[in-house]
Structure 1
Amino acid sequence: MSLHTSISTPRTIPSNFASHPTGLRSSDVHCGSEDYSVGFKTYFAIFSLALANCCATLSNTTNTIIKFQVMSVGGSAVASWIANSNFLLTLACGPIFGSLTDRMGKKWFIVGGCAIGVVGSFISSSATQVYTIIGGNILTGIANAGCIVSIAANQEITPNKFRPYAFGFAQTVNSIAAIAGTFGAAAFVKYASWNWSYRLNGIVYGVSGLSVLLSYKPPPPAIRRAGELREILLAVDYLGILLLAGSLASITMALTWGGSTYAWNSGVIIGTLVAGSVGLVIFGLFEHRLKTTNGILDHRLFENMNFPILCFVCLVDGMLLLGINVLYAQEIADLFSKDALRIAVILTPYLITSTVGCLPAGWIMGKTHSYRILLIGALLWCSLFTGLMGLIDSSRLKMALAFSALFGLGTAVTTVIPIVALGLSIPSFLLGTAGTLSISFRALGGIVGITIFTAIYDNKIAVNRPREVSDVVLGAGLSTDTLQKVLKALSGNVPPAVSLSAISALPAKLITPIVNASLKASAESWTYVWVAIACITFANAVACCFLKSVKSNMTAHVESALERSTTRDTQMSKKLKIAI
């Protein structure tokens, strides 16, 4: 495919732009044309930006070995913060960075994020207590908020009609990183130490930052060309940023603490949830009533309903992707193996199909200029096979491999298409804001999903395991005291056969029946989790029925030209009159 196209050159935006009820689309601010060829500079930048996006994915693969980290440094009571400290900071800082990068440029936010990621990763790798890991992950969460800006940068340097191809490639690289990171983390646990997983992340952050520094040299963004620096900085929606970040942080902390650090009905959890929810309402009213063209929720993002719908799609996609990445690994450990490398092997069919499906998904959208039917079909496909995952038990490994591979194909589509469609549904000069908001919704979805699905499993296993195990233990004439010891042994991280053999009052012949009873209880409990995932995914498919076509926006326009051309010369020098 030759990326040779005709690119429009900008003109002055009409003076009535600020008073226009919805503002102008990026396609409205261009006229005329010239030949523009995408060459080595753009290809190199696309690859470098894809590497930067990989950093956030790699940092999340360390979550698959959290239990091994806790076994080494302790702190099981706060283990959930190892993952959620990263998610929380990414979620809170993402919209801030996105809004600023649309005004100031994206390069130094990405490079700076990579630099912070190096520091955070090596702090976590040096941990001798759990709080050091959490502290390092706080820094990598901030780093990832900068790195995900690369998603918007990737789309800006690519002509609109070629964005599906470029982002499909970027997500393929990203998915390969997920596979490599998952296997790397498992291999480090088995053959070296979990610390090396964080060290690998630090190296990748460093390489990515250097690559972006060398390859990505964009012209100033449209809003930066629209006014003086002081004027632009004064126009930033600081109050909206604080309201959104604080509200999301409150909700995230409540979801993380609830059921572990504090009871769900405790004053701390209720108060934090209420504060976060009220904050979001105030934020929404503030953005709707008092902000028009310079708020976090810039009104020009809502030219049609695609933006809010696709943000909801990203929220549910986060529940699906991040929830499965964390919880499916736990189910494998419960039902099939506690060996870290074998867990990674069993995850492989899902990881591979969710990787190889990214390029075809982008290719189909690029060729057809259509995405809605493809996205709805993928979500229905995911709903079917995640529902069928509820049928697996410890004797159905082949079924688990097949079903996870099949819904992996669907998640490849839901990873690529919504982001590209969202970028084509809003003015191009707001790609940073829209892109980071969508990623923040995905991160929030991951936190909400993990919380909901973990609560479902915990509630079911608390009933199912005592019921199944008591039939074996009490049926053999043993005491309730022995039953309690057995249940305690089964709830630990030690392999059941080992922990049960340490109970002196337990006959050796009962160990296998008890293990089988526990496996049955666990499989029954995971069934409810998969049914919940299937239902939520189906609801997402229904929401996508209301999406609008973006075919008219798949034009030759390039928001940020890297190649030497008249378009780039114009973008490097042209002053625009737009509302900031």
Structure 2
Amino acid sequence: MDEDKHEISQVEHHDVHNLQHSITALAEQEDEPQTPYQLGWKTILALLTLSMANVCAALSNTTNTTIKFQVASVARSQADAALASWIANGNFLLTLAMGPVFGSLSDRLGKKWFLVCGALIGVVGSCISGSADKITHIIAGNVLTGIANAGCIVSISCIQEIMPNKLRPWAMGVSQAMASSFVVLGTFLAAAFVRADTGGAGGWRWAYYFNGIIYGVTAVAIAVTYFPPRPLLGRHHVLKEIISGVDYIGILTLSGSFASLIVGLTWGGSTYAWDSPQVIATLTCGCVGLVLFGLYEAFVVKEGILDHRLFSTVNFPILLFVCTIDGMLLLGVNVLYAQEIFDLFSQNAVRIAVILSPYLITSTFGCIPAGWIMASTRSYRGLLVGALFWCSLFTGLMSLVTSDRLTWAYAFSTLFGIGTAVTTTIPIVALALSVPSFLIGTAATISVSCRALGGIIGITIFTAIYNNQYAAYVGPELAALTANNLAPVVVAESQRAWHYVWIAVACLVAVNGVAACFLKGVKPMMNEHVESALESGKVREAQLS
């Protein structure tokens, strides 16, 4: 036992230099060819239930497709309507801020109860939003849902931990396909609930209630099917030692900086002017806080939120950038494309969902082939770079869509949906294979937080581009009335404004493709190592001892 403790201590405190900044060095530490591991029903069942937590985090965004209906139902004034952006951003903000915190703690304390408790909080948040009679109540429920999703996204690391490294792409493909399938279902259900509303109570409420049911089922399912060994970083430490080693300063600095930054981005151009003291102060505090956080993590602590061992290869920082820009594409487009459809084609909730469906369906069914290709070839860079430039091409072509070119919208959204299936699945797996496996929870949740940050920044930037262009065409007074649902959209001018939004999306995704060219391969890490064995046998016995 003393020898085991000594070995694990060496792994825990291994200096970044000793990792030699290479994937090969990581593979040499983690490969276990002498203890073959056989997958069984426990792992497959856990994969499905853990994927439901991933479903919860994705499904919560489907209610954003009905934001216009939510505002129309409960807004009492222009001031209420001006808070509409917080319906989506309240969720994103908490997921972004709390995700790395939960990830870091789960690598030390274990992941199961972060998932279960997160899903239970999701039940409460969904019920609050669904029963709300004020915009602020909907936002409050979504804030709780954001905390819930910060716990649920820990499942991304759990799914990869229970599988041999070489099968991680396949497992994540299955998980992401499940999540995307529920997004399609949730989008159509939300639309159907809105359309079925004849009493004026707000059919959108049932979209929240449906999400609450899924959160509840997920909490129970994980509680009874997922029994992992204690994580390596906490295996030979008592709770007091683990808690005393938590990077509290880093947690507070990061969370506060993100909160300040996102508040400023959300206020800018809507609640306050971009040059107002409130916006300038919050944005400045957020940026300064992030700089201080980076300096603190780089020079004061080695095993903080940004554990130095995460930077054992150049892949980690590059993939964080890739995930951030990809969040602008995935989350930004999910929210804004539904609004463009509302402006140009139809205000019927079901028809909006139908027009969205080609993009949603191709991005769903492309996840499993993307994972299969990476697992089979043990290569990912070419696939990822190609997918990003593919997305750049067809999001750029979306700028040609007008109100009488619906078939173009179907075609182009279908094609860039294929690309997003790759960008949804591959970066997460590549990131996990580029860091020590005992830090996968921290790495995965940081990457998801970067996606959320990208989504918030993307929504803010793209909305600002649209609003500025639309106001330039129709005048600021009519634009303000339109934004507050007090005047109809001028279709011809709206489609001209959306043109600039899609050009901005295409340029950002192209930059992402260039950044992905500098990634390194992870083939040596795609081995037999299993970080968290669920099946009975020598591997699990060793991890339990």
Give 1:504's aligned residue.
Answer: none
Q: Deviations over 1:531-573 (max 9, x none)?
A: 0000000000000010000000000000000001111011011
Partner of 1:70: 71
Pick one of 7, 10, 13 that aligns with 1:18.
13
Show the counterpart of 2:169.
Answer: 164
Distance across 2 between alignment mates of 1:23 and 1:38? 32
Counterpart secondary structure, 2:37: strand
Confirm whether residue 88 of structure 1 aligns to residue 93 of structure 2.
yes
CA RMSD of aligned residues (A): 1.8
Say if 2:201 is the partner of 1:200: no
Looking at structure 2, the residues matched to 491 and 60 of structure 1 have their Cα atoms a distance apart, in angstroms, of 21
Kindly state the Cα deviation for residue 134 of structure 1 after the two structures are TM-superposed: 0.9
Query: What is aligned with 1:150?
Result: 155
Partner SS for 1:365: helix
In structure 1, the residue matched to 2:242 is: 232
Structure 1 equivalent of residue 196 of structure 2: 191
CA contact (8 A) 1:11 1:31 kept: no
| 1:108 and 2:113 correspond | yes
Say whether 1:329 aligns with 2:330: no
Q: What is the letter of the counterpart of residue 368 of structure 1?
A: T
Is residue 446 from structure 1 mapped to residue 455 from structure 2 by the alignment? yes
Alpha-carbon deviations, 1:214-251, whole Å to 9, x = none? 11100000001132221111111111111111111110
Unmatched 5+ stretches in structure 2: 20-25, 198-202
Paired with 2:325 and 2:10, the residues of 1 have a C-alpha distance of 40
Distance of aligned partners of 1:171 and 1:258 in 2 relative to their CA distance in 1, 3 Å threshold: same
Deviations 1:81-120 (A, max 9, x none): 1111111111111011000000000000000000000011
Letter in 2 for 1:33: Q
Q: Pick from 261, 268, 276: which aligns with 2:286?
A: 276
Q: Please name the residue that 2:252 is paired with.
A: 242
Please identify, of 32-41 and 45-54, the stretch whose mean Cα deviation from structure 2 is larger: 32-41
**1:308-327 mapped onto 2 (5 Å cutoff):** 308-327=317-336
Query: Aligned AA for 1:233?
Result: I
* CA deviations over 1:112-148 (Å, ceiling 9, x no partner): 0000000111111111111111111111110000000
Query: 530, 533, 539: which is aligned to 1:561?
Result: 533
Tell whether 2:55 aligns with 1:57: no
Match of 1:368 among 372, 377, 388: 377
SS in 2 for 1:425: coil
Find the residue that maps to 2:451 and give its secondary structure: helix
For 2:498, the equivalent position in structure 1 comes to 526
Q: Is it true that 1:405 corresponds to 2:397 in the alignment?
A: no
The one-letter code of the counterpart of 2:485 is: N
Structure 2 CA distance for aligned equivalents of residues 359 and 301 of structure 1: 27
**Alignment deviations for residues 335-365 of structure 1 (CA, whole Å, 9 cap, x no partner):** 1001111000000100010001101100000
CA contact 1:23–1:300 (8 Å) conserved in 2: no
How many residues are matched? 527
TM-score by length of 1: 0.88
Distance 1:447 1:404 in 2: 21
Deviation at 1:489, TM superposition (A): 6.8
Q: What CA deviation, in whole Å up to 9, does each residue of 1:476-514 have, x standing for no partner?
A: xxxxxxxx7x77776663784xxxxxxxxxxxxxxxxxx
**Residue of structure 1 equivalent to 2:268:** 258
Structure 1 residues 187-240: Cα deviation after superposition (integer angstroms, max 9, x where no partner): 111103111011000000000111111111000000011322211111111111
Deviation string, structure 1 residues 503-530 (Cα, Å, up to 9, x no partner): xxxxxxxxxxxx8xx3221111100000
Letter of the structure 2 residue corresponding to residue 143 of structure 1: A
The amino acid across from 2:13 in the alignment is A
Deviation at 1:11, TM superposition (A): 8.9
Q: Partner amino acid for 1:310?
A: L
Mapped partners of 1:19, 1:439: distance in 2? 26
Give 2:347's match in structure 1, choosing from 338, 345, 353: 338
Could you tell me how far 1:465 is from its partner in structure 2?
A: 2.7
Q: Tell me what 1:480 maps to.
A: none
How far did 1:20 drift? 2.6
Question: Residue 548 of structure 1 corresponds to which residue in structure 2?
Answer: 520
Tell me the distance in 2 between the aligned counterparts of 1:150 and 1:19. Answer: 26
Cα deviation for residue 464 of structure 1 reads 1.7
The alpha-carbon distance between structure 1 residues 246 and 492, as it changes in their structure 2 partners (threshold 3 A), is closer
**Aligned match for 1:420, one of 415, 423, 429:** 429
Q: Is residue 493 from structure 1 mapped to residue 485 from structure 2 by the alignment?
A: yes
**1:377 is matched by which residue type in structure 2?**
G
Q: Contact between 1:378 and 1:414, CA under 8 Å: does it hold in 2? A: yes
Could you say which residue in structure 1 is the equivalent of 2:127?
122
Partner Cα distance (2:442, 2:487) in 1: 47
SS at match of 1:226: coil
Cα 1:355–1:431 shift into 2, 3 Å: same
Please identify the structure whose Cα radius of gyration is greater: 1
SS at match of 1:78: coil
Distance in 1, Cα, partners of 2:145 & 2:320? 24
Residue 31 of structure 1, CA deviation = 5.1
Question: Which letter does structure 2 place at the counterpart of 1:463?
Answer: A
Deviations 1:257-290 (A, max 9, x none): 1111111001111011110111111111111101
Give the Cα separation in 1 of the matches to 2:194 and 2:363: 24
Question: For the residues of structure 1 that align with 2:480 and 2:347, how far apart are their CA atoms?
Answer: 18
**Cα shift at 1:58:** 1.2
Partner of 1:465: 474
Percentage of matched positions with identical amino acids: 59
